[in-house]
Amino acid sequence: MGDFITKTQQLDTLVRSQSDNLVDFSVKESVHAFNRVIPVSQVLATAETPLDLYNIQTENANRPAAVNLFTNSLFQNSATGITDDGAPATRVTTTPRLGTHSLQLNPANSAALEGAYATVTNIGGLDTYLVASIYVRDASDADATVILKIKDSDGTDVATSAVVNVTDSYQRLECRFVLPAASASYRVWFGTSAQHNTNLFFDSLQIEHRQDSMATEFINPIAQANCSWRGTADASMTQRISPMTVIKGFRLNFSHDTLIAFDTTADVKAVGHASRERSHLVDVSVSAIWEPSWPLDIRQNISFTNGAGSETPTVFGTLYGRSSV
């Protein structure tokens, strides 16, 4: 990629000069195989405004390790696992949030609290949480109201979400319950909070048993890195393994001249300044492919901005790294 040796030397100086990130490039650190592979692609939205290609801390906060206990979370093949409770549930292609289908509820318009539910069994553990979430919308912004509940096996409420005014854009409902020690079955119920006959569309149902009360980002085995089905696609639990905590290598492509920085922000003001400021940046030429050949130790982020004029480069490729878990 043109001036590769220069760029390699720049990156070597940059990574090794950050004392809090120094590692021992001997046996313990250097021979560990990469156990995380992350595809990345970002387009700089505005020239001279740095953008993170990947931010480890943000990704770890939003996408921790998690398991979705519901085995039909995207409703791709059927309405399997859903029991009607005053609102017949059917799988439709009208308004999917992800994939090709969503779940339509048609309230009977005879009372409030018409909906449907999924059941999970053998859930328990003192001071652990059952956390449920689902996305909902309608077709015409009809001002319907909906709610999400966790019920015990007899149908008694044990936790309730806030009431949400539905629009023609998907919104997420969340509900959580502190579990007792003994295992039991629970219903995750979703439907109307007031009487109406507005068709509702639900998607991305997630049910988690967690040590904390966080409703993690929906586990998307179709398009999200580190996510997968535990068994048959669209008919098994899904999981997200623990995210990358250190970037050890990468292979990146650049559409335009690009300034890229590691564990800091790619400050475009450094372009015309002294070498002390420039040492925080690496220049990458247009159409270059950059793949360093030794273990790196990037612990925070990779940031980039344009290297010339008002260009808005695209940076894409693959990051290789490890999880601390």
Confidence at residue 240, expressed as pLDDT on a 0 to 100 scale: 93
> In Å, what is the CA distance from 259 to each residue of 132, 190, 263, 295, 301?
42, 48, 14, 21, 14
Buried b (16+ CB within 10 A) or exposed e, 32-52: eeeebebebeeebeeebebbb
pLDDT at 280: 54
Q: Cα 172 to the chain's mean position, in Å?
A: 14
Name which of 216, 153, 164, 223 is nearest 188 in CA terms: 153
Q: Do domains 4-62+243-322 and 66-240 have the same CATH topology?
A: yes
Q: Does CATH number 2.60.120.770 belong to domain 4-62+243-322?
A: yes
pLDDT of the residue at 236: 95
pLDDT at residue 4, as a whole number: 34
- pLDDT of 292: 85
Q: Could you give the C-alpha distances from 323 to 167, 220, 224, in angstroms and in order?
A: 39, 19, 17
pLDDT for 268 equals 65
| pLDDT given for residue 269 in this prediction | 59
Q: What is the largest CA-CA distance in the chain?
A: 73
CA distance 218 to 202: 13
Whole-number pLDDT of residue 285: 75
Look up the CATH superfamily of 66-240: Galactose-binding domain-like (2.60.120.260)
pTM over 0.85: no
CA neighbor of 83 nearest in space, from 211, 223, 185: 185
Residue type, 80: T
Q: Domain locations in the chain?
A: 4-62+243-322, 66-240
Looking up tokens 């790294």 gives 321
- Tens of pLDDT along the chain (325 residues) come to 333 333 444 444 444 343 333 344 334 444 556 888 889 999 999 999 999 999 998 888 888 899 999 999 999 988 999 999 999 999 999 899 999 999 999 998 889 999 999 999 999 999 899 999 999 999 887 779 999 999 999 999 999 999 999 999 999 999 999 999 999 999 999 999 999 889 999 999 999 999 999 999 999 998 888 899 999 999 999 999 888 999 999 999 999 989 999 999 997 655 444 333 444 568 787 777 899 876 889 999 999 999 888 999 999 999 999 987 5
Q: What is the dihedral of CA 321, 6, 263, 35, to 10 degrees?
A: 0
Q: How many residues are there in the chain?
A: 325
